[in-house]
Amino acid sequence: MDTPSTLDQKPQQKPTTHIKWAVFFLIISLLGFVDSTYLAVKKLSGSPVTCTIVHGCDTVTSSSYSEIFGIPVALFGSLFYLAILVLSIAYLDKKKERLLSCISKLTWIGLFASIYFMVVQSIILHAYCIYCIGSAITSTLLFITGMTYLKKNKMTKIPLPPEQTETI
């Protein structure tokens, strides 16, 4: 017999649906990791960044905005994407839904950083780096995916048993 507490609970989604989310996070974060790591390696080695589609990669990557306390911002990007990548792999291994929730909530960091750096490129530097644009696209995709995941997998509140509720 169904009780009110069992009727209020959201039906379980198929695990394969969650695996698809994790695989998507993994693929996009891997692309972002490769992109950011390429820029970080170039910056740390002092090598110029080859820019074929747009012009201005050297302007962007050699500007004062390309470092925070002497650390290339691309390295922070690599760490961000690596965190998403590792959490995605952890989900695929452990199947703990809170890992996907954590990934989804972390995507704000990448989105805000991307917005900031796109504003710097367009308004302050008047130059664009294709790799930076690629990172902005990947972090935006991660954000959209993360917010969609959170919306579709909203945890329903489970009511407290009667003995734990307060009486007025």
Measured distance CA(93)–CA(44) in Å, rounded: 34
The pLDDT tens digits along the chain (168 residues) read 555 555 556 555 555 568 999 999 999 999 999 999 999 999 999 998 888 887 888 899 999 999 999 999 999 999 999 999 999 999 999 989 899 999 999 999 999 999 999 999 999 999 999 999 999 999 999 999 999 999 988 754 344 455 545 554
**Per the CATH hierarchy, to which homologous superfamily does domain 15-155 belong?**
VKOR domain (1.20.1440.130)
Question: For 151, left (φ over 0), alpha (ψ -120 to 50), or beta?
Answer: alpha
Cα of 89 vs its chain's centroid, Å: 14
